[in-house]
Amino acid sequence: MLEIRQENIDDYEDVYNVVKIAFEGAEHSDGNEQDLVIELRKSENFIQKLSLVAIKDNKIVGYILFTKIKIGKNTELALAPLAVLPEYQGQGIGRKLIEKGHEVAKKLEYHYSVVLGSENYYPRFGYVPAVKYGIKAPFEVPYKNFMAIKLNDTNKEIKGIVKYGKEFEI
């Protein structure tokens, strides 16, 4: 049985290890994703309700975090990181984390989420190249890897360059 719940302070060490292990063999990893999580938790961009863990076999096997970003004058979300222990990958845990995160984000009335990631993975959850919404990355990246999803059925159109929190510069 898989449980998805909000992270709490007692989970921090396990989450650190899950993120570190999950990204060790990742093709596009800078090796500091676990440290980014620590810095994001301290920031004004952190949203406790959007810091989620996946528990299976009585242990944390996955983690997802959405934090606040700016797109023009609008406050929206960035998904980073999504991590699942290698031995639990391919079981739909990442999907469940993303779906739960989107569900919570909608309730919190966010309109968009962006992600920098695999063009083969994130589109299955509704992410499309962000340029389709007029959203641009603040750095050079292939357009197919910088994606966005519209979370709410809203007429709210936003355009602009994403401004990440300073924590992403670690």
Question: pLDDT of 144-166, one tens digit each?
Answer: 999 999 998 877 778 999 999 99
Tell me: pLDDT of 105 over 70.
yes
Total Cβ atoms within 10 A of residue 103: 12
Average pLDDT over residues 87-95: 97
Instruction: Check whether 104 has a pLDDT greater than 70.
Output: yes
Whether the link from the prior residue into 81 is cis, omega within 30° of 0, is: yes
pLDDT for the residue numbered 30: 74
CA nearest to 155, candidates 122, 127, 133, 124: 133
Model pTM?
0.95
Tokens of 137: 């990355």
Span 50-65, average pLDDT: 97
| DSSP helix/strand/coil, 138 | coil
Specify the fold of 3-169: Aminopeptidase (3.40.630)
Residue 41: which pLDDT band, with cuts at 50, 70 and 90? Answer: very high
Mean pLDDT within 15-32: 86
Task: Check: CB of residue 62 under 8 Å from CB of residue 97.
Answer: yes
CA distances from 93 to 7, 13, 157 (A): 15, 20, 31
Q: 61, 66, 97, 60: which is closest to 81 by C-alpha? A: 66
pLDDT at residue 77, rounded to an integer: 98
Residue with the larger pLDDT of the pair 130 and 156: 130
Q: What pLDDT was estimated at residue 29?
A: 67
pLDDT attached to residue 155? 73
Average pLDDT over residues 27-52: 91
More confidently predicted of 25 and 22: 22
Would you say residue 11 has pLDDT above 80? Answer: yes
What is the rounded average pLDDT for all residues in the chain?
A: 94
Question: In 3-state terms, what secondary structure has residue 5?
Answer: strand
